[in-house]
Every structure is written in structure tokens, then in C-alpha cells.
Amino acid sequence: MVTIKSKREIEIMREACILTAKTHEVIKQAIRPGISTWELDKIAEDFIIKNGGIPAQKNFPSGFEGIPDFPATICASVNDEVIHGIPSKKTILKEGDVISFDLVVLKNGFHGDAARTYIVGKENNKEDKRLVEVTKQAFFEGIKFAKKGYRVGDISNAIYEYVTSNGFSVIKEFQGHGIGRQMHEDPGVPNYGKKGKGMRLEPGMTIAVEPMVIAGKPDILSLDDGWTIVSEDGTNTAHYENTILITEKEPEILTRL
């Protein structure tokens, strides 16, 4: 169900979104060769709790029999891991790794959701750097159409056209989503689609727009942990996401400081 937020609800939701953005900044400052993704997860969890939030992804149910709930605060996906990478003491970041972080904060009954991708240490690989930049810009290309009167398909089409025109691929099995009191609400926001199709956007809607991009072919695999999604061809990946508010004019990015 799509929920239209009141002005009061939006103000409350801002707090969760700002804390989400601040947590990303804390993670960014801690990234370095030699640190484990488990350590980064602990840093994020401590910061969220200290600031009155709840790590919403921790213990999130998989929805599938035999697959345990998600065990961590953040998704930490390295290189060919597209999304839902599980932090581990064994996963030690190295110079040149491409690392994506996705996190959701619950505060005062509302969620904020954002993802970022970084290159660890020096950006020596020009293609990895371009992958990260194109993924981020794809988000901004998409939200040019996140306005009253446009449709979800207009956002989706803009993301797809930008990514593919730059020689990369989007995954089609996962998508952005509405967000509010629930982490995942309607409408779904795919990273591909046709202009003029899908739900019409209205002021007060809050959605998470999140290009998930693979350097090579769009095919994906799921690892044995039931969560981690990787590129089938082993090429590197990137992920960029923000929670945005549809207004009477330009969209507002809620998870950006």
C-alpha cells in the first residue's frame, strides 16, 4: 500500500533519514585497508544506537525457510557482491576494493534508507572509478523525473538508459521501493522500465531510489548464505541509494546532509 505522509510525519521521518546519512559519514571516515567489514558494522551499530535509532536491517527476516534473519546492521558488499553482503571478521578490506554499504535506520517509527559505494584507498583503477561515478549519477538522472505528475517508469527508464549508455548493466531482480513506517512499501521502483508507465507520483510519497549496477553482464547469483547477491561473471558492482520525498516541485533528498 502506498502511504502519503503528512507534514508532521515527514518531519519525524527526516530524523531517521538524517541519522542514516550521518551513519554513512561515520562509516566513510573509518574505511581503510586492513579493517574488516565486521568492524565497520560494529561502528555503524554503535553510532545508530547512541543517537537514538534502531538498526532496522538487523534480524530482518529473509522470508524463506531455512535462511536465517539478516545478522548485521549494515550490508557490506565487496567487489562482485552487488547487494546484501554480510559483514564478517574474515572480510578484510584491501587497497582498491570496491565496497558498497547499504543501511536502514528506524527512529521514532519511521525508516531512512541509503547506500553508498567507495573505492578503498587510492583510486588506481579508472574503470572502477567510472563504475562508482556512473552508478551515483544514475540516481540523479532518475530523480529528475521524481516529480508530481510523472510516473515510476519515468524514473526507471532514465536510470536504465544512463547506465546502459555508459556500457554497464542494471540488475532486474531487485529494485527500489516506497518507505516510511515500513522499510518496504509500495510502489516498487525498478531500475528499468518504460516512460509513462507505472504509478503516478504524488506529493507526500517517500521512495528509495537505488541503482544497482554491474560492470559486466546483468546476470546474478545468490550465495549459499541466502543473502549475498553477486555478479555471475565476477565483475565489480556498485550501489547508490537515497530516500527521497516527492513534493509539489523538485524532489527532496532526505538522506543527504
- Fold classification of 7-253 is Creatine Amidinohydrolase (3.90.230)
Taking a C-beta distance cutoff of 8 angstroms, is the pair 97, 128 a contact? no
Contacts of 87 by beta carbon, 8 Å cutoff, 6+ apart: 36, 37, 38, 40, 41, 72, 73, 74, 76
Angle between helices 7-30 and 37-50 (to 10 degrees): 140
Taking a C-beta distance cutoff of 8 angstroms, is the pair 243, 185 a contact? no
| Measured torsion, CA atoms of residues 228, 163, 206, 240, in degrees rounded to the nearest 10 | 50
End-to-end CA separation in angstroms for the chain: 29
- pLDDT, position 182: 97
Residue range 218-245, pLDDT digits in tens: 999 999 999 999 999 999 999 999 999 9
- pLDDT, position 123: 74
Tell me the range of 31-40, 57-66, 123-132 where mean pLDDT is highest: 31-40
User: Rounded to two decimals, what is the model's pTM?
Assistant: 0.97
Task: Please state the separation of Cα 84 from the chain's center in Å.
Answer: 10
Closest to 225 measured CA to CA, from 119, 88, 38, 113: 88
pLDDT at 251 over 80: yes
Q: How sure is the predictor about 1, in pLDDT bands with cuts at 50, 70 and 90?
A: confident
Dmax over CA atoms of the chain, in Å, equals 48
Mean pLDDT of the chain: 97
Residue range 174-198, pLDDT digits in tens: 999 999 999 999 999 999 999 999 9
Distance of alpha carbon 27 from alpha carbon 42, whole angstroms: 10
- pLDDT, position 124: 78
DSSP string, 114-162: EEEEEESS----HHHHHHHHHHHHHHHHHGGG-STT-BHHHHHHHHHHH
What b/e readout covers 36-59, taking b as 16+ CB neighbours within 10 angstroms?
bbbbbbbbbbebbeeeebbbbbbe
Residue range 9-25, pLDDT digits in tens: 999 999 999 999 999 99
Mean pLDDT for 50-64 is 96
Taking a C-beta distance cutoff of 8 angstroms, is the pair 236, 131 a contact? yes
Residue range 131-156, pLDDT digits in tens: 999 999 999 999 999 999 999 999 99
Mean pLDDT for 93-106 is 98
pLDDT at 97 over 90: yes
Residue with cell 565487496: 78
